[in-house]
Structure 1
């Protein structure tokens, strides 16, 4: 269904710093790239907010009927400290600490990232390329940039010539920074002595002897610069110019600024039409930081095993809370805010589940069509999820009003109301009905226990009392009590 033909979507474009009507390059099809995680540690809530923000974008674009190719990379090489220019590679650092191969670190935390995103009920991207899987292409683009005159080699490393690029283009177009001011305010560091200019950034770095992850290139045995991978993978899978590029606000400079420069230097054209940036999270009013201890991992929130919150919160409640702020706003996590959000979530779900008990009339006192469009209007306004949620609570209010007899609704309008609630709660926001999923889990558990009882009965019939007793004892350890009676075996949960 081509809903996009009936809706006008606007997106806040970071490069123009204003909302713009969204017009895709190719009608009905969208290319979207989002900078993925650097996989050297467990994914934290700040990362999750960024990826959930773009999951919302992905879901809504698909809901509108667009064919979306969503590319989100995995950074598994080349990301040094100090904005990818110097210092330790965090993957190698973690490999030394945990006494693992670098690719073991990558695999461990990539799996963790996927598991957390799945727990949040986020859609996987269409393509998830890795930096190490595109070394050849990264070398090729460096060669191309050198040929175009925008890069130079020094002592086995290759640097992007920002001053030369700025003669023909505009470096700082995304962040709004002025190159002359940046140069005036930058002190030359010893680690940057190979550069013509302190603002130049690495396209290829010669590996030190202790650097494990290294590849041969025309300039040295080394590794690609951090910024390079996203230029290569976005343009490889989406073309030299594509619709949307997303990421966290912290990536705007230098990472995304460098991406624009690399792409224009290599391909001769602006790579992205709409730049989108998700804002950061704070915890109890302070910036989340592992160094200060003011942070919490998603899994610790789900289990309640932490010193910050006094109870566990379901993943879908945490997600619902995040969407109660627009993706460009700073969002503060606090116990009080999460508990209020949990109550609101339960209220919304209770109303949705009660639709089945609504009695219809021959006429309606509610303008459901107008309300439905208000839900679209919210999302069309730069994916304004808090306004959408407010409209969904209006829908819940309609349901409760009909149930208590203060409003009436026709069967046709009731079906439209139900479909709209379903579309936006589950399809667009990607929330999960906890009560329903718990009931399903309970049914699965019940069937599993019944199967074990059958196996125990069979063991007892065969006089295999060791197996019979083991099944009973292991179930008891798990909090499941078996009771043998004349009508068979029943169970109860302790």
Structure 2
């Protein structure tokens, strides 16, 4: 259904600083790019908040009937420490410390990233390109920028000429910065003698002899600058001009500012209509930091294996907690806050469960159509999930009054109430009914144990062909069997 034709969606545009009516470039279709992770460590909760926020955007756009191409990259080249142009490649550094190949590090943490987002019930993007898979595209982008006069080669590296670009364009328009102020506040960094200006940033860096990740280029062996991959991959899959670009607030400068400059220098046009930025997550009122110990990983929340929380909390409760704040607001994570979120989530699930047993009447004491539109109004106001959740709890209150026969509802309105609640709770917010999921897991366990029994019987009868067939079929389905003296157990691979 093309619900978008009857809904006026407004999105806060970081570029203009205002909420603007969203009209896609191509009717009925949306192109969205979100900066993905640099895979050199376990994904932390702050990153997860960003990806959950854009999963909400993705889900709501699809709910409205848009055909969405959602592109989210994997940074597997490993950009430079502190996102500057000098220092050590993060992935190569991790590989050296752990005595592994860089691509082993990439694989390990890419798998972790996908597993965590799957636990949070995030939908996978339409396309998930990697930086290493698009080196050719990045080299071609650099060639074009050099050809247009906005970049220069220096000692085997290529730098973007910010001052030259700023003569005809505005470097700093997304972050609200002024180039003259940036120049006066610049600190000296090693390797600056290669640059014409301190603000110039690397499009391609010459690889020193000890640098592991390197590729041939017209300027010599090296590796691409961090900002370049997103410019090359977003335009490859979404075109030179697309609808939405998202990421964390920390990426607004320099990453997204540099992306805009690269795109304009390469194609001569502004790349994105709407820039969206998710805000940060704090822990007990302070910035999350591994070095200070004020940090918690998603798996530590799910297992309860931490010194911050009083108990374990499920992925869907954690997701619900995150969505209780607007994506542009700072959100503080604490034991009390997630305990309150768990209580609210349980109330919501209980109300949904109670829908089936409600009595109907010949009239409704509440306007369900008006309530339905209030849910859409919340999401149409820059994906305002906390206001949506407040409207869902209005429905919870109504359901509880219906249970006590203090309100009335017609059969058709009850059907509509149920449809809208389920749509917004499960399809849009992406929550999971843990009781249903648990029942499904119990059924799965029963079926697998039955097959293990059949396999044991086949082995006892020396029917090894059937035994192997059962094991192989289960492996294909992601269920791994482990034989031991105590018997056979199984595990489900993510």
Normalising by the residue count of structure 2, what TM-score does the alignment of the two structures yield?
0.93
Q: Which residue of 1 aligns with 2:395?
A: 395
CA contact (8 A) 1:204 1:222 kept: yes
Post-superposition CA distance 1:45-90 (Å, at most 9, x none): 0110000000000000000000000000000115111224111111
CA contact (8 A) 1:157 1:205 kept: yes
1:188 CA displacement: 3.0
1:193 CA displacement: 1.4
1:355 CA displacement: 0.5
Cα distance between partner residues in 2 of 1:435 and 1:101: 42
Q: Which residue of 2 aligns with 1:210?
A: 210
Q: Which residue of 2 aligns with 1:29?
A: 29
Inter-CA distance 141–341: structure 2 relative to 1 (3 Å threshold): same
Q: Which residue of 1 aligns with 2:329?
A: 329
* Mapping for residues 424-435 of structure 1, pairs under 5 Å: 424-435=424-435
Tell which deviates more after alignment, 64-73 or 438-447: 438-447
Post-superposition CA distance 1:312-369 (Å, at most 9, x none): 1000000000000000000111000000100100000000011010111111111111
Q: Which residue of 2 aligns with 1:235?
A: 235
Cα distance between partner residues in 1 of 2:223 and 2:454: 59
**The residue matched to 1:23 in structure 2 has which SS?**
coil
Cα distance between partner residues in 2 of 1:390 and 1:290: 34
Q: Which residue of 2 aligns with 1:482?
A: none
Aligned length: 471
Q: Which residue of 2 aligns with 1:192?
A: 192
Q: Which residue of 1 aligns with 2:383?
A: 383
Q: Which residue of 1 aligns with 2:471?
A: none
Cα distance between partner residues in 1 of 2:97 and 2:188: 32
5+ long unaligned stretches in structure 1: 479-494
Rg larger for = 1
Cα distance between partner residues in 1 of 2:190 and 2:444: 62
CA contact (8 A) 2:364 2:409 kept: yes
Q: Which residue of 2 aligns with 1:354?
A: 354
**The residue matched to 1:193 in structure 2 has which SS?**
helix
CA contact (8 A) 2:240 2:271 kept: yes
CA contact (8 A) 1:78 1:223 kept: no
Q: Which residue of 1 aligns with 2:88?
A: 88
Q: Which residue of 1 aligns with 2:258?
A: 258
Cα distance between partner residues in 2 of 1:126 and 1:458: 43
1:396 CA displacement: 1.2
Cα distance between partner residues in 2 of 1:65 and 1:84: 41
* Mapping for residues 255-404 of structure 1, pairs under 5 Å: 255-404=255-404
CA contact (8 A) 2:39 2:74 kept: yes
Inter-CA distance 376–460: structure 2 relative to 1 (3 Å threshold): same
CA contact (8 A) 1:362 1:409 kept: yes
* Mapping for residues 29-68 of structure 1, pairs under 5 Å: 29-68=29-68
Inter-CA distance 247–461: structure 2 relative to 1 (3 Å threshold): closer
Cα distance between partner residues in 1 of 2:440 and 2:81: 46
Post-superposition CA distance 1:428-454 (Å, at most 9, x none): 011000111111111222333344456
CA contact (8 A) 2:78 2:90 kept: no
**The residue matched to 2:194 in structure 1 has which SS?**
coil
Inter-CA distance 161–441: structure 2 relative to 1 (3 Å threshold): same
Inter-CA distance 472–448: structure 2 relative to 1 (3 Å threshold): farther
Cα distance between partner residues in 2 of 1:67 and 1:118: 22
CA contact (8 A) 1:76 1:130 kept: yes
* Mapping for residues 97-246 of structure 1, pairs under 5 Å: 97-246=97-246
Cα distance between partner residues in 2 of 1:471 and 1:182: 65
Inter-CA distance 472–163: structure 2 relative to 1 (3 Å threshold): closer
Aligned-pair RMSD on alpha carbons?
1.8
1:472 CA displacement: 10
CA contact (8 A) 1:287 1:294 kept: yes
Cα distance between partner residues in 1 of 2:50 and 2:154: 37
Inter-CA distance 407–77: structure 2 relative to 1 (3 Å threshold): same
CA contact (8 A) 1:84 1:227 kept: no
Cα distance between partner residues in 2 of 1:108 and 1:460: 39
5+ long unaligned stretches in structure 2: 468-482
